[in-house]
Amino acid sequence: MASHQTRSRRAPEPEATRCSSSGAAPGAPYGATVRSAPGQPVKYEFAYEPQSPYGHLVDLLIEHVPVGVVIDLGCGHAAIAQPLIERGHRYVGVDMDPATIEALTARGIEAHRLDLADTAALADGIVALAAGRPVVAITALDVVEHLPRPVDALRAVHEAMVRLGAEWLGVSIPNVAHADLAGKLLVGRWDVTPTGLLDDTHVSLFTAARLGTDMAAAGFAPGPANDFHLEASDQHYPTDLATLSPTAPLARLLRVVRDGADADATTNQFVRLFRRTEQALSDAAPDADTAPFLTVVVHTGGTQPTLADTLTSLAAQTCPDFEVLLLVDAQSDDDEATAVAQLTSLPADFALRVRSERLHANHRVHALNRAIELARGRYVAILDDDQQVLANWVADFSGALADPGALLRSRALVQHGRENDAVTDATTAPRFDFVQHLRESETPLHCIALPMSVFRDLGLRFDPELQVYAEFDLILRAAQWCGVTDTEAVTAIQRPSAGTSPEHDAARAQLIAHLDSRPLLLPEGSATRLLELLTNSATGQVGTGQVDSVAAARERVLASPDMRAALSREGLATRTAVLLDELAVQRDRADRAEAEVAAFERSRVWRATKPLRMVLHADSVRRIGGKLQGRLRAR
């Protein structure tokens, strides 16, 4: 945290007072001076600054809290007193150190002695020192992390606020989920310091999630926030650590993961207001065992005639451990009614598992992201209203949970046309190949079940900037980090897309640029796959997909008006020039190919494998010679 006026606390009783929790260098944040002697309170000499956690909290109080009495728990040397008094507030400091109380009184600041660790007497003590005055807020800056049982203390504060009619609680608490701490913990470092994020007197460590949970348990609802951010905290050392250095691929990958999880990768202090609710809330976590295995998201405009077939295929599932979230992106009430009416002809027990939600997203990506927020299942699968699945679809996913948290992948059959057309062949390879997927998607979205942890913990979402390939992008990002479990079973029907177009080519280029903007985490075996691709490229081998791309490009060129003119009698000279240019290009390619072959034959790998080639060659000669001898004997 930035420099503040002197704060004090007794090291043996850290729950009583406040300390600084941030800084730019280990042990002495923002040039702070730490003074202590054995058995004496530890003194932090900080000066109030607007651009500091304390300044951020004062800004919140000025903007959201009416003028009145503000009680500052664990006030230390009252860094926020003067700015609040200047704005008309009545400041009341609370601390347990007698010397601090005496010093504040000498400065003309009202101060009272109170032990925050004595939670049984805390509420009565706060009410007593208010002395009937209208209290508008209670603050606790750099205090909660020093309390061994913070929820008990917060509940006592809540009780006092109910009795006083105070509405707002303001806090400043260090964030132990800062990206710097994440990077250091990964390599086994937990560097406790006299001050800072890992102050040696902190006994309760907070992330954003724990802060929200503890506040809810004590009866406080989230209010406005003005968090204090530091790209490099006091824990950003040593600077050459590969998990911290901004130029290291490992650090960049970790930062991508950390940034996706929540918005607090650079939050040094949580600076927030919480609104008092009428009574303390339960801190019991929801029972995860009651959640269905799968949430099936069906996105529809409401008028698609094949929606009934989609819902029927779900009603026919052999495994009932799923719910259906029917997202109706309807333009009118009639469209929504049409979609919901499809449920009336389906079995009642299935209809009970269907929830409908009317949206006005007008964009598929926004609708899918909304579905993620509404899903209750441990996994999520997505169907469009023109797709059908086989009866084993859910059961196959459910039976593939050997690797918790992995993406679950099945296969689909391709069907050409809508009616009376035979299902022909599997559209996807039996196993997920990440490198191959970089070239072409082999996994339709409805052949994937995504673990909710991808969204809940990693923060992944469908990217609205990728209009066409948002689904493919999410599959690739999730597969990198979570892995893929292949069931190899055929569970769905896929209708092929209309093919490529200039718009799709541009969208794919956008996808590749998106993937290039961050490090890729490749699965085991990728080195061999990449070597195969490089070897095939060096030896001139062309894959089927490349042949198809070349053929398609040739057809587009031949169909162009310029090329048609060149093929006409009048365009003979132009066509000749084109052919000469093409010949020059082919010669250049041949020269480069020969150079690459020569370079490969001079390579260490080629020389190292010479004995093996000689053995194989000798074996081949023996086999051929044996065949010739056999033929000669037969004659």
What is the per-residue pLDDT for 42?
44
Q: Quick check: 415 and 495 in contact, CB under 8 A?
A: yes
Kindly state whether residues 268 and 325 are assigned to the same domain: no
What is the per-residue pLDDT for 302?
79
List the beta bridge partners of residue 275.
168, 221
Residue 68 lies in a domain: yes
Phi, psi dihedral angles at 128 (to 5 degrees): -65, -45
Name the most confidently modeled range: 492-496, 541-545, 622-626.
492-496
Residue ranges of alpha helices (H) inside 262-392 are 307-315, 333-341, 348-351, 364-374
Q: Quick check: 487 and 397 in contact, CB under 8 A?
A: yes
- pLDDT digit string, tens, across residues 172-227: 999 999 999 999 999 999 999 999 999 999 999 999 999 999 999 999 999 999 99
Kindly state whether residues 140 and 178 are assigned to the same domain: yes
Kindly state whether residues 40 and 184 are assigned to the same domain: yes
Rg (CA), the chain: 34
pTM of the model: 0.74
CATH number assigned to the domain comprising residue 62:
3.40.50.150
* Percentage of the chain exceeding pLDDT 90: 54
419 or 272: which carries more pLDDT confidence? Answer: 272
Which one of 504, 523, 542 terminates a domain? 523
What is the per-residue pLDDT for 421?
54
> How does residue 312 score in pLDDT terms, banded at 50, 70 and 90?
very high
- pLDDT digit string, tens, across residues 152-168: 999 999 999 999 999 99
Kindly state whether residues 231 and 299 are assigned to the same domain: no
Which residues neighbour 430 within 8 Å (Cβ) at sequence distance 6 or greater? 411, 486, 488
Kindly state whether residues 224 and 308 are assigned to the same domain: no
Kindly state whether residues 340 and 458 are assigned to the same domain: yes
What is the per-residue pLDDT for 371?
93
362 or 401: which carries more pLDDT confidence? Answer: 401
**Structure token digits, residue 445:** 């979205």
Q: How far apart are CA 82 and CA 84, in angstroms?
A: 5
* Percentage of the chain exceeding pLDDT 70: 72
Residue 199 lies in domain: 7-235+264-276
Kindly state whether residues 417 and 295 are assigned to the same domain: yes
Residue 125 lies in a domain: yes
Number of domains in the chain: 2
- pLDDT digit string, tens, across residues 64-122: 999 999 999 999 989 999 999 999 999 999 999 999 999 999 999 999 999 999 999 99
Q: How far apart are CA 437 and CA 530, in angstroms?
A: 13
Which one of 498, 523, 548 terminates a domain? 523
Instruction: Please give the average per-residue pLDDT across 479-502, as a whole number.
Output: 85
Q: How far apart are CA 632 and CA 349, in angstroms?
A: 79
**Structure token digits, residue 68:** 């009145």
> How does residue 557 score in pLDDT terms, banded at 50, 70 and 90?
very low
What is the per-residue pLDDT for 614?
56
Whether a cis peptide bond, with omega within 30° of 0, leads into 238 is: yes
Residue 507: is its pLDDT beyond 50?
Answer: yes
Kindly state whether residues 223 and 114 are assigned to the same domain: yes
Interaxial angle between packed helices 249-261 and 179-186, expressed in degrees from 0 to 180 and rounded to the nearest 10:
130
What is the per-residue pLDDT for 427?
65
What is the per-residue pLDDT for 151?
96
Kindly state whether residues 209 and 307 are assigned to the same domain: no
Distances (CA, A) of 170 to 116, 134, 229, 279, 392: 16, 17, 17, 18, 53
Kindly state whether residues 16 and 123 are assigned to the same domain: yes
Residue 80 lies in a domain: yes
Residue 615: is its pLDDT beyond 80?
Answer: no
Q: Flag the least confident range among 17-31, 190-204, 249-263, 440-454.
A: 17-31
> How does residue 625 score in pLDDT terms, banded at 50, 70 and 90?
low
Q: Quick check: 154 and 210 in contact, CB under 8 A?
A: no
What is the per-residue pLDDT for 305?
85
Residue 580: is its pLDDT beyond 70?
Answer: no
> How does residue 533 score in pLDDT terms, banded at 50, 70 and 90?
confident
Q: Quick check: 485 and 402 in contact, CB under 8 A?
A: yes
Residue 413: is its pLDDT beyond 90?
Answer: no
Instruction: Please give the average per-residue pLDDT across 268-296, as a whole number.
Output: 80
Residue 399 lies in a domain: yes
What is the per-residue pLDDT for 120?
95
Residue 390 lies in a domain: yes
Residue 309 lies in a domain: yes
Strands (E) in 142-257, as ranges, are 168-174, 220-225, 228-229
Residue 36: is its pLDDT beyond 50?
Answer: no
Kindly state whether residues 271 and 321 are assigned to the same domain: no
11 or 616: which carries more pLDDT confidence? Answer: 616
Q: How far apart are CA 339 and CA 328, in angstroms?
A: 7
Q: How far apart are CA 388 and CA 225, in angstroms?
A: 46
Kindly state whether residues 406 and 295 are assigned to the same domain: yes
What is the per-residue pLDDT for 566?
42
CATH number assigned to the domain comprising residue 356:
3.90.550.10
What is the per-residue pLDDT for 424?
58
Residue 210 lies in a domain: yes
What is the per-residue pLDDT for 301?
84
Q: Flag the least confident range among 16-25, 157-166, 517-526, 598-607.
A: 16-25
Q: Which of 90, 98, 105 is nearest to 13 (CA)?
A: 98
List the beta bridge partners of residue 42.
9
Amino acid at 43: K
Q: Which of 297, 439, 301 is nearest to 369 (CA)?
A: 297
Residue 369: is its pLDDT beyond 60?
Answer: yes
Q: Which of 387, 362, 242 is nearest to 301 (CA)?
A: 362
What is the per-residue pLDDT for 458?
95
Instruction: Please give the average per-residue pLDDT across 567-592, as a whole number.
Output: 54
- The distance of Cα 268 from the centroid of its chain, to the nearest Å, equals 20
CA neighbours closer than 13 Å in the CB half-sphere of residue 450: 36
Which one of 276, 307, 340 terminates a domain? 276
What is the per-residue pLDDT for 334?
81
The pairing of strands 135-141 and 168-174 is parallel
Helix, strand or coil for residue 410?
Answer: strand
Residue 129 lies in a domain: yes
Q: How far apart are CA 247 and CA 255, in angstroms?
A: 11
If you search the block for the tokens 């009545």, which residue do you land on? 90
